[in-house]
Amino acid sequence: MRHSFLFLFAVAATLSGIPGFAQKNVSYYNEPYRPQFHFTAEKNWLNDPNGLVYYKGEYHLFYQHNPYGKGWGNMHWGHAVSNDLLHWKHRPLAIYPLEGTPDHYKCPAFSGSAVVDRNNTSGLQKGNEKTIVAIYTAMHCGQRVVYSNDAGKTWQPYPTPVIPVMKNGTMDERDPKVFWHEPAKKWVMVLYIGPDKDQQERGIAIYNSANLLQWEQKSFIKGMYECPDLFELAVDDNPAEKKWVLHGADGGYFIGSFDGSTFIPETEKIKMDLGNNFYAAQSYSDIPAADGRRIQIGWMNGGIYPDAPFNQQMAFPCVLTLKRFPEGLRVCRNPVTEIKNIYGEKFVITNKMVQPGSNILSAVKGDALDIHAVIEPGTAGSFGFVIRKGSYETSGTPVRYDARNKKLSVLGKTVDLEPVNGKIELRILADRASLEVFANGGKISLSGCFIPVYTFNDLEFFCEGGNVKVESMEIYKLKSAWQK
């Protein structure tokens, strides 16, 4: 996909310059700024998560990837698999540009999605394995299909585009997200369409298909931009009440109704993640009904990782739920419970009054942490956490709650946050160069990248202007998902 802020990525690429790459030894995935529980490519550029699909115990993660350098370009689909969304195994490249050489590609492999064709509607299945079908944008060459009959190990291209390049004056059609709509017994595709001479506003086209190979446009929704996703969620976990969510690359979403062909928004656009670094999120298809979660992974765009062989990282996988609040329905995001698989040493504090100038976390050190806290603001004007203490001036503002003005700030981004029953609940995932903060049950989330002084691993909880009460605080040091 094409982005308007590529200059940030060029800066990131110039800051990285290690020739070659370390083999699997004690230094594997252990560079100073290498995330320890967020997904990164072994080396070179990464952006949008693509083709998120679950099949036979494996979560497949495809992603936009430049195998030839640390800057955006030469788009292929990288590929990795995991059985717990934490411990990833790299697979060979899955999708290549259709034509060209490393110096000049025609039809680079832009973003898309993948599904399991369980009923062989496409007729592509050969053998006993169900066919995994990936639908993606071959830029300037239409929407294309590749498929696998060996559980995603190898991929075969379908010979012709399933949606040719449109003849309406635009080449900007991309990022197909496909799913099976059971009530209508048909496949649905949401596809970004850029503005053209007749259609003055960009938006999302909705298509239907019986077989994944022939598609018909049914409707169009204005005002959305790239990497769309459309899915259904139960309201307050009640299976008798469900709504549909239409989500775009910038994190904006509508809640509404969907009949298989037409989405009708019932809200204004709402922002799903309010941080500095969150883009092009996609949710998994084919999660078993016994699990039932809507699992999402986003790209933490624009992060900078000095002197690293890789560039960019994924956000941590989150479960999406739909909750009712006084102001209406909102999507909540919370980390998947599988993070417990890498829990290490645990620190617990309960019912503790904290005064300004004290640090109740002086014994806690680490560059990968999962922090759970419930705080009563008390008389304090503000309180929060300094992550990687000593890096403060280089990493931006810490996690801070302004109790008087009821605002939460994370790495310089500030949002409104009202207490619930007089308390603020915070969940913080801290990795070597990123913070993801989830507030009040995931109603608010902010994802951000930062550059700490990598040798500083202290943690501080502070309060200013008065005392606060820590009702509960649990902090887990996280083991590396990449080290045996």
**Separation between Cα atoms, residue 266 and residue 254, nearest integer Å:** 7
Going by DSSP bridges, is the β-strand pair 44-55/310-311 parallel, antiparallel, or unpaired? Answer: parallel
The secondary structure of 383-420 as a DSSP string is EEEEEEET-HHHH-S-EEEETTTTEEEETTEEEE---B
Count of CB atoms situated within 10 Å of the CB of 252: 16
Look at residue 456 and give its three-state secondary structure: coil
Q: 3-state SS string over 314-354?
A: ECCCEEEEEEEECCEEEEEEEECHHHHHHEEEEEEEEEEEE
Which DSSP letter does residue 285 get? B
Q: Which residue out of 48, 175, 229, 367 is catalytically annotated? A: 48
**Separation between Cα atoms, residue 366 and residue 36, nearest integer Å:** 11
Tokens 């990687």 correspond to 388
Fill in the amino acid letter for 7. F
Residue 104 pLDDT: 52
Share of the chain above pLDDT 70, in %: 90
Which element (helix H / strand E) includes 11?
helix 6-14
Residue 121 pLDDT: 98
- Tokens (6 digits) for 20: 């070659």
**Separation between Cα atoms, residue 7 and residue 428, nearest integer Å:** 29
Active site residue 458: no
Residue 105 pLDDT: 65
Q: Which domains does the chain have, with CATH numbers?
A: 6-335 (2.115.10.20), 340-478 (2.60.120.560)
Give this prediction's pTM.
Answer: 0.92
Q: With a cut of 50, which residues of the chain have pLDDT below it?
A: 1-24, 101, 103, 396
353 to 214, 283, 389, 463, 470: CA distances (angstroms): 64, 41, 22, 11, 6
Tokens 């190990």 correspond to 153
**Separation between Cα atoms, residue 62 and residue 76, nearest integer Å:** 10
**Separation between Cα atoms, residue 137 and residue 111, nearest integer Å:** 6
- Tokens (6 digits) for 230: 């459309």
Residue 223 pLDDT: 86
**Separation between Cα atoms, residue 198 and residue 125, nearest integer Å:** 40
Residue 17 pLDDT: 34
Phi first, then psi, for residue 190 (nearest 5°) are -105, 130
Residue 10 pLDDT: 35
Question: What is the largest distance, in Å, between two alpha-carbon atoms of the chain?
Answer: 69
- Tokens (6 digits) for 363: 């014994």
**Separation between Cα atoms, residue 304 and residue 299, nearest integer Å:** 13
Is residue 430 within 8 Å of residue 36, measured between CB atoms?
no
